Amino acid sequence: MTAPFRLHYAPDNASLIVRLALEELGLPYECVLVDRRAKAQQSETYLKLNPNGTIPVLETPHGALFETAAILLWLGDSHGALVPGLSDPLRAPFLKWLFWTSNTLHIDLRQTFYPEKFIGADPSHQAQLRLVLRQRLQAHLAMLEAALATTPGLAGGDTPTLLDLYLPCLLRWTQLYAQAPDAPWFDLAHYPTLHSLCARAETRPSTLAAQAAEGLGPTPFTRPILATPPEGSAT
């Protein structure tokens, strides 16, 4: 590597969250496009880095890391930023919501986007799964709104945390991909704390860098449009 970190990415994928973290931390990194249209994430070369065949991978001086939350937490702890310290009372609730975001909210969205990977090719089964997930997501987002509103410092404050990077991306994809076109069920404006979080994220230099690199549009989190990246494809 010519830089200490190499991010294997696809535009507007989970790698976006890691890009934002690298930018926030001011770390030098280089990017390697994972061509999803060519299914490069299933190539022998990529599977040596991540046997799950998922994006992202971050190559570091200590080896290749995969799993978004693991990469984020390692970056934050290694560089003393974006995460509460070990003795900070906010550390425990922060970890709780970081892993909830990764293991619950993100997974529900992933199943919504790719139901065939979880329930098979039958369209009726996929529609049933999406309906169940829509109800789950509505409950989860209401719970998240309440948690952020009642626990100052988790996200949305003057000092950003990893949740300030992770959550706006998930909310972007909820607006773009998780809704039925004939029956939209999510309006960010109905969640004032989450809306404020997204609006604040759009002012950060890390977002501006990601917008240019991945073609995210002028308001990527509050009023997202489909990405028009200079290389690669988001799907």
**In this predicted structure, what is the pLDDT of residue 183?**
79
**Residue 206 and residue 106 in one domain:** yes
CATH code of the domain containing 134:
1.20.1050.10
Q: Is residue 108 part of a domain?
A: yes
CA triple 225-228-234, angle to 5 deg: 90
Residue 7 pairs in a beta bridge with 31, 58
**In this predicted structure, what is the pLDDT of residue 1?**
65
Tokens of 131: 């309906």
**Measuring CA to CA, how many Å separate 14 from each of 19, 55, 56, 68, 110?**
9, 6, 6, 7, 10
Q: Are 60 and 5 in contact (CB under 8 A)?
A: yes
Give the predicted TM-score (pTM) of the model: 0.96
CATH code of the domain containing 63:
3.40.30.10
Q: Is residue 219 part of a domain?
A: no
Cis peptide, bond prior to residue 220, ω within 30 of zero: no
**In this predicted structure, what is the pLDDT of residue 42?**
96
Q: Are 205 and 199 in contact (CB under 8 A)?
A: no
Q: Is residue 227 part of a domain?
A: no
**Measuring CA to CA, how many Å separate 196 from each of 97, 142, 143, 158, 203?**
18, 15, 16, 12, 11
Count the domains in the chain: 2
Q: Is residue 225 part of a domain?
A: no
Query: In tens digits, what is the pLDDT along the chain, a chain of 235 residues?
Result: 678 999 999 999 999 999 999 999 999 999 999 999 999 999 999 999 999 999 999 999 999 999 999 999 999 999 999 999 999 999 999 999 999 999 999 999 999 999 999 999 999 999 999 999 999 999 999 999 999 999 989 999 889 999 999 999 999 999 999 987 777 999 999 999 999 999 999 999 999 999 999 999 999 999 999 999 999 998 8
Structural domain including 44 reads: 5-79
**In this predicted structure, what is the pLDDT of residue 182?**
76
Q: Are 25 and 82 in contact (CB under 8 A)?
A: yes
